[in-house]
């Protein structure tokens, strides 16, 4: 029998989200649709929210081998959207190497709008095959802060980069305007291919050099300007590797008694944390974007480090509200 209803446009794993600006500069959602296994939740809006908050979730708290999630996000002019998760995005084992679990995000950020995407790390389990593609199209004056990080798996169970394959792709494009095609600003591809052979150097865990987590933070746009400057200046202010302390003992004593400012003491604590967590990071300007790469021996160390950086600088909370940094504190 022919169905009298129009065919459903909703497909498994697909979702769509539109944020727009209400009067009094309040961002709100005008559209939110999703289909199993994707789930989106937005807390009820309050009058003083700085951005509209959406939880990106999956039923059962993870993606089962072969799940395909595709989310389209449209941030309308001047609206602000924050996306967070509730715990690691777990990727379960695939029954075979050909079954790929995919997550795809297509985001369009319009004039003067902003998106803050600070999720928990992806946690691929042993034997999983995962592919993530995130494409951001930015109009004039649009801002984006995006964090993409992946952990070694269930380290408590002894997993250490034991998945089959993990690939992450982040692209930032300028929006096409006046018939001109958009131009690619940045393409950050990371391919972690499981074990390429039996030799030591070919094992993924060996290639990861004792790191339990690695990630990328990409910043672009006017709202991110001060945060970007902060990261670059903190990076160039790092103590030199292999430098020696040439001060005499007397001078060391004098310096240790000197009163240090709050910022200096924060920096000292942060450097100690970087040391303890074995955290390595670098920051670079790439075609107008600021790209921060980091890796650490512990997931918690990386989380505390990035949370501390964002909190110290403060502009993310200022522009998007405290909730935007939920996953990194």
Partner 1 sequence: MTNEADCSQSQAIENEIADLEQRLRAAKARLGHPPSEAITASTPPIELPHHDTLKPTATHFLFLLSDSALPLGSFAFSSGLESYLAHSRPNSSFPSFLTYSLSSYASTTLPFVLAAHRNPEKLAELDDTLDASIMCTVGRRASVAQGRALLSIWERSFSGAVSARPERSEAISQLKEFALLLRNAASTTSGELPAASAHLGPLFGAIAFIVGLERQETAYVFMLSHVKALLSAAVRASMFGPYHAQKVLASVEVQEGIRDVIQREWNTKVEDAGQSVPVMDLWIGRHEMLYSRIFNS
Q: How far is the CB of 34 from partner 1 (least distance, A)?
A: 28
Q: Which one of 63, 122, 147, 214 is in contact with partner 1 (CB under 8 A)?
A: 214
Question: How many residues sit close enough to partner 1 to count as binding (CB under 8 A)?
Answer: 45
In the complex with partner 1, the residue whose CB is nearer, 10 or 282, is: 282
Contact call for residue 287 and partner 1 (CB under 8 A): yes
H runs (alpha helix) in 64-203: none
d(CA 193, CA 13): 25
Among 96, 189, 233, 265, binds partner 1 (CB under 8 A): 189
Q: Is residue 241 a contact residue for partner 1 (CB under 8 A)? A: yes
Secondary structure element (H or E) that encloses residue 63, with its range:
strand 62-63
Query: What whole-number distance in Å separates Cα of residue 318 and Cα of residue 90?
Result: 30
- We find the least distance from the C-beta atom of residue 280 to partner 1, in angstroms, to be 5
Taking CB under 8 A as the criterion, the residue among 18, 134, 216, 325 binding partner 1 is 216
Does 180 sit near partner 1 (CB under 8 A)? no
- 69, 63 contact by CB (below 8 A): yes
Between 154 and 205, whose beta carbon lies closer to partner 1? 205
Interface residue with partner 1 among 193, 255, 276, 300 (CB under 8 A) is 193
Other beta carbons less than 10 A from residue 85's beta carbon: 19
Cis peptide before 37 (omega within 30 of 0): yes
Q: Which of 24, 178, 200, 275 binds partner 1 (CB under 8 A)?
A: 200
Nearest to 327 by CA among 123, 133, 70: 123
- Of 288, 172, 313, 305, the closest CA to residue 233 belongs to 313
Q: Is 96 or 282 the residue whose CB approaches partner 1 more closely?
A: 282
Residue 223 touching partner 1 (CB under 8 A): no
Write down the least CB distance from residue 225 to partner 1, Å.
Answer: 13
> How does DSSP assign 29-90, residue by residue?
EEEEEE-TTEEEE-PPP-TT-SSEEEEEEEGGGEE-TT-EEEEEEEE-TT-EEEEE-SS-EE
CA dist., res. 91 & res. 60, Å (int): 11
Write each residue from 85 to 124 as x if it is in contact with partner 1 (CB under 8 A), else as -, in one continuous string.
Answer: ----------------------------------------
Which member of 93, 104, 293, 329 binds partner 1 (CB under 8 A)? 293
Which residues inside 133-172 make contact with partner 1, applying CB under 8 A?
A: 167, 169
DSSP reduced 3-state for 140: coil
For 318, how many CA atoms within 13 A lie in the half-sphere containing its CB?
10
Which one, 97 or 287, has the nearer CB to partner 1? Answer: 287
Q: Distance between terminal CA atoms of the chain?
A: 55
Residue among 277, 280, 302 at smallest CA distance from 151: 302
Which residue's CB is nearer to partner 1, number 202 or number 247?
A: 202
295 binds partner 1 (CB under 8 A): yes
Min CB(211)–partner 1 separation in Å: 7
Q: How far apart are alpha carbons 142 and 323 in whole angstroms?
A: 21
- Calculated CA dihedral for residues 30, 87, 309, 316, nearest 10 degrees: 10
- Which range of residues in 108-116, 251-259, 284-292, 299-307 is near partner 1 by CB under 8 A? 284-292
Q: Is 76 helix (H, G, I), strand (E, B) or coil?
A: coil
Under rule CB under 8 A, residue 190 binds partner 1:
yes
Q: Which of 94, 83, 80 is nearest to 129 (CA)?
A: 94
* Using rule CB under 8 A, residue 308 touches partner 1: no
Binding site for partner 1 (CB under 8 A): 167, 169, 183-193, 196, 199-202, 206-209, 211, 214, 216, 236, 238, 240-244, 280-288, 291, 293-295
């Amino acid at each position: 029998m022919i169905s009298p209803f129009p065919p459903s446009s909703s497909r498994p794993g697909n979702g769509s989200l539109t944020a727009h600006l209400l009067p009094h500069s309040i961002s709100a959602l005008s559209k939110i649709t999703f289909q199993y296994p994707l789930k989106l939740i937005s807390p009820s809006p309050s009058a003083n929210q700085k951005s509209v908050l959406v939880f990106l979730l999956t039923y059962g708290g993870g993606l089962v081998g072969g799940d395909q999630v595709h989310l389209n996000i449209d941030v309308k002019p001047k609206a602000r959207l924050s996306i967070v998760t509730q715990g690691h995005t777990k990727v379960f084992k695939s029954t075979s190497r050909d079954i790929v679990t995919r997550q795809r995000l297509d985001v369009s950020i319009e004039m003067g709008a902003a998106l803050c995407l600070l999720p928990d790390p992806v946690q691929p389990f042993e034997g999983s095959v995962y592919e993530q593609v995130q494409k951001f199209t930015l109009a004039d004056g649009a801002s984006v802060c995006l964090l993409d990080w992946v952990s070694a798996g269930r380290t408590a169970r002894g997993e250490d980069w034991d998945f089959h394959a993990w690939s992450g792709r982040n692209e930032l494009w300028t929006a096409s305007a006046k018939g001109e095609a958009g131009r690619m600003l940045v393409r950050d591809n990371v391919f972690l291919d499981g074990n390429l052979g039996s030799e030591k150097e070919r094992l993924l865990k060996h290639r990861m050099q004792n790191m339990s987590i690695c990630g990328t933070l990409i910043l672009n746009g006017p709202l991110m300007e001060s945060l970007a400057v902060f990261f670059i200046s903190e990076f160039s202010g790092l103590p030199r590797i292999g430098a020696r302390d040439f001060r005499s003992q007397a001078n060391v004593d004098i310096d240790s008694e000197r009163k240090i400012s709050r910022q200096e003491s924060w920096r000292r604590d942060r450097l100690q944390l970087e040391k303890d967590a074995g955290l390595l990071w670098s920051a670079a300007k790439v075609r107008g974007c600021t790209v921060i790469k980091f890796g650490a021996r512990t997931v918690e160390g990386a989380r505390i480090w990035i949370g501390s950086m964002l909190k110290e600088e403060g502009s993310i909370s200022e522009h998007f509200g405290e909730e935007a940094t939920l996953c990194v504190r």
